[in-house]
């Protein structure tokens, strides 16, 4: 699978990824919040984490990756941008992986870009179940085709226009300008490049499972030498914990969510509610691993990186590691970055796992 540098232009096909993006903010619009990240250069291959903001979205403003309440999302973007205190108005956004159709094709090497674009359109007609005038289409040459030196491998990506247009409109209504449209799984892989050097032998020739547990969905992405070799989504997330807090302690959804984040729940919360949830989470990771082993030639995962909002739950890595018997850690793409005075390290420790996609999007300004 491609490492992830595609850019969808909302109006026409354009190779935005061929040159560095301008200074921009990585902006992840999830089902529960808007997360915004700004990163600056701090030397050769060195970065400084400048500032970030997380703004909670109203319930059902975004459902299954679809923006249902454009005004609410725009308001969150605007509030987050103002809270960051930045003057950068360019943003990089991402589509949910489920909203993007990807396909690898093999084409003769040495084609001019116009020839390649025409070939991609012909191939796309075979694989995309929509009329081409209804989709945003992009492609990226990955490199030489395996076992065929005269050909190259090309990744095609397509998404319905309404999916990109909603996100672009939300940004524009907030006074921001969308300059990059990526894919969430690709953005997370970009952020992973900042983490893999922390692994033994830099993770070379090892299978690393990036497990992102969000509000409603768990994304399971296995990477090997920087390439995605398996992706799966499972319907499991932190909303199950919120619902159990509601049921057990008679709270409203808003009260339950606030209590889950701030604490102050009764003494039996950890034993009666949190521990069973973490056990279920561990079983979901086991289930994802079993699907991975059954669907590929691999029978081992060397490391598990936990990301998403649920990764901030204390003790989660120990529970998952015990359940799956695999080295497990919580993802922090900012671990080797310098931190500006705007960043509070204590808050970042709990927020970092949920900022993987936003971090990867912010890194798009450094694309060569």
Output the pLDDT for position 20: 54
Which three-class secondary structure string do you get for the chain? CCCCCCCCCCCCCCCHHHCCCCCCEEEEECCCEEEEEEEEECCCCCEEEEEEEEEECCCCCEECCEECCHHHHHHHHHHHHHHHCCCCCEEEEEECHHHCEEEEEEEECCCCHHHHHHHHHHHHHHHCCCCHHHEEEEEEEEEEECCEEEEEEEEEEEEEHHHHHHHHHHHHHCCCEEEEEEEHHHHHHHHHCCCHHHCHHHHCCCEEEEEEECCCCEEEEEEECCEEEEEEEECCCCHHHHHHHHHHHCCCHHHHHHHHHHCCCCCCHHHHHHHHHHHHHHHHHHHHHHHHHHHCCCCCCCEEEEECHHHHCCCHHHHHHHHHCCEEEECCCCCCCEECCCCCHHHHHHHHHHHHHHHHHHHHHHCC
Q: Delineate the domains of the chain, giving CATH numbers in brackets.
A: 16-97+162-189+353-366 (3.30.420.40), 199-330 (3.30.420.40)
Output the pLDDT for position 276: 96
Output the pLDDT for position 137: 84
Residues with pLDDT less than 50, the chain: 1-19
Output the pLDDT for position 5: 43
pTM of the entire structure?
0.88
Please answer whether residues 285 and 222 qualify as being in contact, where contact means their C-beta atoms are separated by less than 8 angstroms: no
Output the pLDDT for position 176: 97
Please answer whether residues 38 and 25 qualify as being in contact, where contact means their C-beta atoms are separated by less than 8 angstroms: yes
């Amino acid at each position: 699978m491609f490492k992830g540098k595609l850019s969808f232009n909302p109006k026409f096909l354009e190779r935005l990824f061929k040159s560095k993006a301008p200074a921009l903010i990585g902006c992840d619009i999830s089902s529960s919040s808007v997360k915004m990240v700004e990163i600056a250069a701090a030397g050769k291959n060195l970065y400084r984490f400048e500032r970030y903001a997380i703004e909670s979205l109203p319930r059902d403003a975004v459902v299954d990756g679809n923006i249902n309440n454009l005004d609410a999302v725009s308001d969150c973007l605007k509030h987050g941008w103002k809270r960051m205190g930045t003057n950068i108005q360019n943003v990089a956004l991402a589509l949910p992986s489920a909203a993007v159709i990807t396909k690898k094709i093999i084409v003769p090497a040495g084609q001019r870009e116009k020839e390649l674009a025409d070939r991609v359109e012909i191939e796309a007609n075979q694989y995309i179940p929509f009329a081409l005038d209804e989709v945003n289409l992009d492609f990226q040459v990955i490199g030489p085709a395996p076992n065929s030196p005269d050909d190259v491998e090309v990744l095609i990506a397509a998404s319905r226009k309404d999916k990109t247009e909603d996100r672009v409109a939300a940004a524009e209504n907030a006074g921001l300008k969308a300059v990059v449209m990526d894919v969430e799984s690709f953005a997370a892989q970009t952020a992973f490049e900042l983490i893999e050097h922390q692994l033994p032998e830099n993770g070379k020739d090892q299978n690393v499972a990036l497990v992102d547990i969000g509000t409603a969905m768990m994304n399971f992405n296995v990477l090997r030498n920087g390439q995605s070799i398996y992706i799966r989504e499972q319907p499991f997330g932190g909303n199950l914990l919120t619902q159990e807090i509601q049921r057990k302690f008679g709270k409203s959804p808003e009260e339950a969510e606030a209590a889950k984040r701030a604490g102050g729940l009764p003494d039996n919360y950890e034993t009666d509610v949190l521990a069973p949830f973490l056990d279920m989470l561990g079983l979901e990771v086991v289930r994802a691993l079993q699907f991975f082993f059954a669907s590929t030639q691999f029978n081992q995962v060397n490391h598990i990186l936990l990301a998403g909002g649920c990764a901030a739950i204390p003790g989660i890595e120990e529970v998952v590691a015990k359940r799956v018997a695999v080295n497990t850690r919580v993802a922090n793409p900012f671990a080797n970055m310098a931190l500006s005075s705007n960043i509070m390290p204590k808050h970042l420790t709990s927020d970092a796992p949920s900022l993987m996609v936003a971090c990867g999007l912010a890194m798009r300004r450094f694309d060569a």
